[in-house]
Amino acid sequence: MLALVARTMARPSGLLKPVAPRKLPGRYFAHQQDLPALPVPPLQQTLDHYLLALEPIVSEEELAHTRALVQDFRKPGGVGDRLQKGLERRARKHDNWLSDWWLRTAYLEYRLPVVVHSSPGVVLPKQDFQDRQGQLRFAAKLIEGALDFKTMIDNETLPVEYLGGKPLCMNQYYQILSSCRIPGPKRDSVVNYARGKKPSTHITVVHNFQFFELDVYCSDGTPLTTDQIFIQLEKIWNTSLQTNKEPIGILTTNHRNSWANAYNNLIKDKTNKESVRSIEKSIFTVCLDAPMPRVSDDVYRSRIYFPLWVVPPCHLSSLSLPQISLQFIVAEDGSCGLVYEHAPAEGPPIVALLDHVVEYTKKPEMVRTPMVPLPMPKKLRFNITPEVKNDIEKAKQNLNIMVQDLDISAIVFHQFGKNFPKSQKISPDAFIQMALQLAYYRMYGQVCATYESASLRMFRLGRTDTIRSASVDSLKFVQAMDGAGKQDHEKAELLRRAAQAHRAYTDMAITGNAIDRHLLGLRLQAIEDLVSMPELFMDTAYAVAMHFNLSTSQARQGQPEKEALKRHNDKTSGTAKTDCVMCFGPVVPDGYGVCYNPMSDHINFAITAFNSCAETNAARMAHYLEKALLDMHQLLQENPKPKL
């Protein structure tokens, strides 16, 4: 999702075996094998589209310079040709020519803290409980719901998802549970304990900075019931009433190199090592938090991001350790959500899991479980050596700086949702992207390189490519909108055309023909081949194109095939879409991160920026965005499409 454009140059591949494409058993294996391989787009096509993408964001002179570079690069038998052939060879040898490279450059070699810069958060609607009993009951149901989802993954009964009528790669579902990101001095790694000889059977529960290993399966392999989990959570709560003095989980929020050093310091001690290993192997983590500071419902979403997503201020207990793929957070006052580690998966599988879990928590409890005594969950102990204490202090300071620097505005746009653009025969996603273009243009008088995540899951082991939302057509629309030269019906037509162009780029991206990953591939191929970096990639225009002042994403994607969904819903409660909001940070110091969840009649937005940048302001962007949406709504309503 995040436009973590591979700024880090990759070293030759073959070193990495993190979430290796696994041969999945049975039905999924057959499904995965049937998926097409990600194509390498034709070189000439990418270069033409690259020049088009530059048009709205660079000057005429820069464009002329780049045209000359492209001319040179595309010559038959030239450097572009050679790199393209290298990529095509790679594609013949790998299941997916991109996925390992992408995992490494976008995530594992990315050195900024995962907090803010990489790990997204998802905030759920506030739940209807106000006390500890309610919190533990809800947490117990949530755990049971997540284990139910895990059973569907393990049994391969999870319906295959579809996008535009095409089946999607389901591999990411196999990576999101029992996964953990381990820090390394130059590169992190991801380990997965879902299968193998001894698959994980426990989760980690965190309360008051204290960690517990909670076994969630009975000896016969059946998952614990809500009642049983509730009792176990109560035991944990009652034995961790005092806040631990050292919030050891804070170490994970550091710059990756510092965390890697601190990690090595930490696990020098045998007890610490055992505790760390237990956390690493857990299926997921649940953090039981104190109540959030009281705020009205209106500001709940905005305020909650801080504790839920950025890893909490120190009075809260949800500082897990290390980067477990999934960390649910349930606070005593009904606030809840999750933070996830981005390396193994994009947001959509996580949101699908959340949809299931939230529906599960609404089910009435049918069975009262006989109270067979269960062993006390194991407390994980840590010896805080002076070295570790020092690392914790440094991490506290850094986190504090990051939290102070983060500017967040979350809004629920109530006036309409995706039904309105649909009624106008416009793609809702394209409509929202055009509103973002208009908002940005009104704020800055220019457009910027804009990143929107597009799924590549139509292909085996596919992750994402980029939809470039700033286009020649979007520029024409935003310039016309407030200019004097055009009638309203012309502006409406420009808006429709810009949205159509966006949808066309989306289709190009999801079918593996966008430009960004191809250009990245050519660059990485040059590094692998040890040839000097082509000038095309050293060009100012390339730097501008990769400086995404707007990094945006929708959190959802894909629907189970109708028949599969029907079969699935016959057995379960169905998969209603949770009214959640996802949140992630900007990818450049002077940029915005914008995540949105379009519901039928409203749209949830989370906008982030950095306070240290004088030019950006999340609340101002939110204001301009709302105005853009309303103005576009009015424009279309007053200027209906002429009937032919």
342 among known catalytic residues: yes
Interatomic CA distance for residues 140 and 361, integer angstroms: 9
Cβ proximity to ligand COA: between 190 and 555 the closer is 555
Q: Which of residues 570-629 bind ligand COA (CB under 6 A)?
A: none
| 455 annotated as a binding-site residue | yes
Q: Is 347 near ligand COA (CB under 6 A)?
A: yes
Q: Quick check: 348 binds ligand COA (CB under 6 A)?
A: yes
Work out whether 464 is an interface residue with ligand COA (CB under 6 A).
Answer: yes
Binding status of residue 280 toward ligand COA by CB under 6 A? no
Binders of ligand COA among 69-128, rule CB under 6 A?
Answer: 120
Q: What are phi and psi of 197, to 5 degrees?
A: -65, -40
428 binds ligand COA (CB under 6 A): yes
For ligand COA, the closer of residues 80 and 347 by Cβ is: 347
DSSP 579: -
**Least distance to ligand COA from the beta carbon of 574, Å?**
15
Interaction pattern, residues 246-275, with ligand COA; x per rule: CB under 6 A: ------------------------------
C-alpha distance from residue 537 to each of 13, 142, 534, 541 (Å): 20, 48, 6, 9
What whole-number distance in Å separates Cα of residue 561 and Cα of residue 163? 9
For residue 428, say whether it is annotated as part of any ligand binding site.
Answer: yes
Rounded distance, CA 427 to CA 420, Å?
10
Rule CB under 6 A: say whether 349 interacts with ligand COA: no
Paired tokens of 73: 């690069």
With CB atoms as reference, the residue minimizing the distance to ligand COA is 1
Beta-strand ranges (E) seen in 118-173 are: 121-123, 161-163, 166-167
Site for ligand COA in 489-528 (CB under 6 A): 506, 510
Known binding residue 425? Answer is yes
3-state SS, 281-326, equals CCCCEEEEECCCCCCCHHHHHHHHHHHHHCCCCCCCCCCCCCEECE
Please, what is the minimum distance in Å from the beta carbon of residue 553 to ligand COA? Answer: 4
> Per CB under 6 A, does 417 bind ligand COA?
no
Nearer to ligand COA, 123 or 140 (CB): 123
Q: How many residues does the structure list for the chain? A: 644
Work out which of 425, 562, 566, 567 binds ligand COA, going by CB under 6 A: 425
Residue 384 CB, shortest distance to ligand COA, in Å, is 35
Part of the chain binding ligand COA (CB under 6 A), chosen from 34-42, 153-161, 366-374, 426-434: 426-434
Tell me how crowded residue 532 is: count the other CB atoms within 10 A of its CB. Answer: 8
388 vs 510 by CB, closer to ligand COA: 510
Whether 232 and 224 have beta carbons less than 8 Å apart is answered as yes
Question: Torsion angle of alpha carbons 546, 551, 555, 559, nearest 10°?
Answer: -40
Annotated binding residue 453: yes
Of 366-395, binders to ligand COA (CB under 6 A) are: none
The smaller minimum CB distance to ligand COA, of residues 450 and 506, is found at: 506
Contact 66, 538 (CB under 8 A): no
Residues 67 and 536: their CA atoms lie apart, in Å, by: 9
Instruction: Name the amino acid, one letter, at 476.
Output: K
Name the active-site residue from 342, 356, 502, 518.
342
636: closest CA among 491, 433, 482?
491
Question: N- to C-terminal Cα distance for the chain?
Answer: 40
426 is in an annotated binding site: yes
CA distance 516 to 508: 12
Q: Which is nearer to ligand COA, 506 or 525 (CB)?
A: 506
Asked if 31 is part of the footprint of ligand COA (rule: CB under 6 A), the reply reads no
What is d(CA 528, CA 521) in angstroms, rounded to the nearest whole number? 10
Taking CB under 6 A as the rule, does residue 32 contact ligand COA? Answer: no
- Residues 138-167 contacting ligand COA, CB under 6 A: 163
Stretch that binds ligand COA, among 140-148, 296-304, 311-319, 342-350 (CB under 6 A): 342-350
With CA atoms as reference, report the closest residue to 235 among 78, 79, 378, 419: 378
Q: Which two tokens stand for residue 428?
A: 């809702």
Could you give the string, one character per residue 537-566, with x where binding to ligand COA holds by CB under 6 A and - elsewhere?
----------------xxx-x---------
Bridge partners of 203, per DSSP, are 214
Q: Which letter does DSSP use for residue 103 in this model?
A: I
Is position 422 annotated in a ligand binding site?
A: yes
418 is in an annotated binding site: yes
Type of residue numbered 523: R
**472 contact partners, CB below 8 Å, separation of at least 6:** 52, 55, 56, 501
Annotated binding site for (R)-carnitine: 451, 453, 464
Residues forming contacts to ligand COA in the complex (CB under 6 A) are: 1, 120, 163, 346-348, 418, 422, 425-429, 453-455, 464, 506, 510, 553-555, 557
Question: Which are the catalytic amino acids?
Answer: 342
Annotated binding site for CoA: 418, 422-429, 455, 503, 554
Annotated binding site: 418, 422-429, 451, 453, 455, 464, 503, 554
